[in-house]
A and B are shown apart, each in its own frame.
Chain A
Amino acid sequence: MIPSTATTIGRQVAALVRDLAARAGLDRTRAYRLRLAADEIATNAVTHGGADVVHLCGGVDEDRVWVVLEDGAPFFDPRSHDPSAVLATDPEDRTPGGLGLFLVHSGVDELLYDRVDDRNRTTLVIHRDSSAPEGPSGLSAPEGTPGLSVPRGTMEPGAGGHGGAGG
């Protein structure tokens, strides 16, 4: 995994997603959404969770492109937060917070989370075929790509299916 700090995380997320998108042939819009979602998770871990370092990796398989982010911040499961609440408030009256998680939920096809060894492991998945059904149904973990870490145990049934909401 690639270790990133607050000063490098944005650039490293962008570079990783650019590479994955090129390998998978993702269109510009979906590559942008994946980058945005990964950036939001990483930024959240650093700015709100106080993580010094976020570890990144990603991969491509036949059906999916994924990015895994791990951080040592306190427990934070992005699936447990209702991102739609922020939209109920007029933009002029909003307080900071919530927008990033909304972009995560709406930007990816699957949002997965595990707490592993006191670390948050968030997996963001984009389907290579945009017509593929959303949400896992007995999915197995993405098979490894040489040189890239593989998320283990992050694909539990019912863990995803957040994708596409509002977008």
Chain B
Amino acid sequence: MAFEAKSHVWDGTATIRLRGELAAKSAGQLNRVIAEVSAQPLTRLVLLMDQLTYLSSAGLRSLVFAHQRLGRGVEIVVVGARPEVAETIRLTGFDRSVVMQEPV
């Protein structure tokens, strides 16, 4: 499935909605969106993952990229990750560096 990452920024919070499969071919696309939103002063990055159906290590590296680009002062929140995607995040310890939330 094709990958999409749509973003908007409001009041210091950048929200990126991820859709499809985040893997080696699509991670660069997400990194570009992260770089774009990080040009503005942010306090929080919200990643909406309810429509993300696949996450490989290349996608996890986008989380590393986000941390390094935004710095430690910016909270990263993952919302609505599907069970398999959430398992990958937890298994690799990224739940220590991001806040995992159920969909609102």
Contacts and interface: CB of A to CB of B under 8 A. Distances in A.
B96 to A, nearest CB: 6
How extensive is the interface on chain B, given as a class? 20 to 34
A87 B92 contact: yes
Given A32-B84, A39-B56, A167 B64 contact: no
Contacts of B60: 99
B92 A43 contact: no
B73 to A, nearest CB: 11
Given A10-B23, A90-B97, A167 B56 contact: no
B35 interface: no
Contacts of A36: 54, 56, 88
B91 A10 contact: no
A10 B25 CA distance: 8
B23 A102 contact: no
Interface of B is mostly: helix
Interface residues of A, number: 28
B57 A91 contact: no
Nearest to A87: B93
Interface of A is mostly: helix
Interface of B: 21, 23-25, 54, 56-58, 60-61, 63-64, 67-68, 72, 83-84, 87-88, 91-94, 96-98
Interface of A: 7, 10, 14, 28-29, 32-33, 35-36, 39-40, 43, 47, 86-87, 90-92, 94-96, 99-100, 102-103, 106, 166-167
28 contacts: A10-B21, A10-B23, A10-B24, A14-B54, A28-B84, A32-B54, A33-B84, A39-B23, A43-B23, A43-B56, A43-B58, A87-B93, A90-B96, A91-B64, A91-B92, A91-B93, A91-B97, A92-B67, A94-B64, A99-B61, A99-B92, A100-B56, A102-B57, A102-B92, A103-B92, A166-B91, A167-B87, A167-B91
Given A40-B57, A90-B96, A100-B58, 4 more contacts: A39-B56, A43-B23, A90-B97, A102-B92
